[in-house]
Structure 1
Amino acid sequence: MTATLVRRATVDDAPAIARVHLQSWRETYPPVLPAEVLDGLDLDARTARWQEILDEGRSTVHVAVAGGEVVGFASAGDGRQDDAPAPRELEGLYVLARRHGTGDGARLLAAALGDRPAYLWVWRDNARALAFYGKHGFDADGAEDTHTVNEHPIPAVRMVRP
């Protein structure tokens, strides 16, 4: 297995982050999002959004690079909720399915948050993600929400690490 380098993302990484983001959604969300929604995800629009995020600098974004290819990313920032249970929010962490089990996710999580208190939202039925975050000190705190993608609901639970 190719060694992984985790580094801070730059605006030049936006296309690669967008590609990983969309591929990860297509690998993860078929049980909850219809195929036409996943097939219709727009790489150009997602790239433009990641360019904005990286330009704004509100979130810190890290990428995992293996064999010269971005294979995962994590973004974190100040909590976006007024009643945030911790000062930092893990806004997203995605690793390509072929890299699951390599430690890339753990390295990205460490780069994004260190050992600081934080929270995140995760799809309620994503057993793999729930187990991963639990292994890294996060517990569901009872808060639930519904995130919507193209008018399709994704039930989410909040997990917090003190």
Structure 2
Amino acid sequence: MSQTIRVRPARLADVPMMAQVIVQAWGETYRGLISDHILDDPEFTPARERQWTTVLTDPRFIAHRVAVAEINGSIVGVAMSGPGASGSDPLQLYVLYVLKQCHGSGAGTTLLEAVLAPGEAATLWVADPNPRAQAFYRKHGFQPDGLEKVEDDLPMIHMIRASNRDQA
């Protein structure tokens, strides 16, 4: 029997579970790609809790879209988009993580569509290598644009999606 995925806007009460999901997803995704001291830092979870509390309460983030995916009342994924670096940039997808046990469930697509409308222009940074995530984003219209950076010891590539009206 398949489980129903429910995606909804994040609430302040979700912060502890959102932080746990991010920390677990980072471990599942990046173990072996970034330094263990980053993943095993005892301050990692409290830092994510502070981050999400700020995002959900600080007026600087009022234009950000934050959603969680739940299965049976447990949060299994988190996503956030918001304004790009400058006022003229398209939206940026800042966060999209789904626990490994829910990969392939549709939670990622549903979360993506909760924070970025299908066909809405957007950018994102994705780890390289991370072929599963890169294929997921390509499926949703994102393409690498040649920009690269290193963050937390992890090489990243930049991907962009033009809006449907820009492609017409």
Distance between the aligned counterparts of 1:56 and 1:157, measured in 2?
29
Instruction: Determine the C-alpha separation between the residues in 2 that align with 1:125 and 1:72.
Output: 21
User: Deviations 1:14-55 (Å, cap 9, x if unpaired)?
Assistant: 111100000000000012113232121521221121101111
Unaligned stretches of 5+ residues in structure 1: none
Over 4 Å off, 4+ runs:
none
TM-score (norm 1): 0.91
Would you say 1:66 and 2:75 are equivalent positions?
no
Q: What amino acid does structure 1 have at the position aligned with 2:161? A: R
SS of match in other structure, 1:137: coil
Could you say which residue in structure 2 is the equivalent of 1:2? 3
What residue is the counterpart of 1:44 in the other structure?
46
Paired amino acid for 1:102: S
Aligned counterpart in structure 2 of residue 110 of structure 1, from 110, 113, 118: 113
Cα offsets for 1:101-136 (capped at 9, x unmatched): 000000000011012100000011000000000000
Amino acid at match of 2:112: L
Q: Hey, what's the Cα distance between the residues in 1 that align with 2:131 and 2:93?
A: 18
For 1:88 and 1:4, the matched residues in 2 are separated by: 25
Q: Is the contact made by 2:81 and 2:116 (CA closer than 8 Å) also made in structure 1?
A: yes
Q: What is the TM-score with the length of structure 2 in the denominator? A: 0.88
Aligned equivalents of 2:117 and 2:58: distance in 1? 22
Give the structure with the larger strand fraction: 1
Q: How far is the alpha carbon of 1:83 from its aligned partner?
A: 9.1
SS of 1:32's equivalent in the other structure is: coil
* Count of residue correspondences: 156
For the aligned residues, what is the CA RMSD?
1.5
Identity of aligned residues (%): 39
Who is 1:140 aligned against?
Answer: 144
Equivalent residue for 1:88, pick from 91, 96, 105: 91
- 1:20 alignment counterpart: 21
Please name the residue that 1:161 is paired with: 161
Match of 2:83 in 1: 78
Return the alpha-carbon distance in structure 2 between the equivalents of residues 13 and 83 of structure 1. Answer: 29
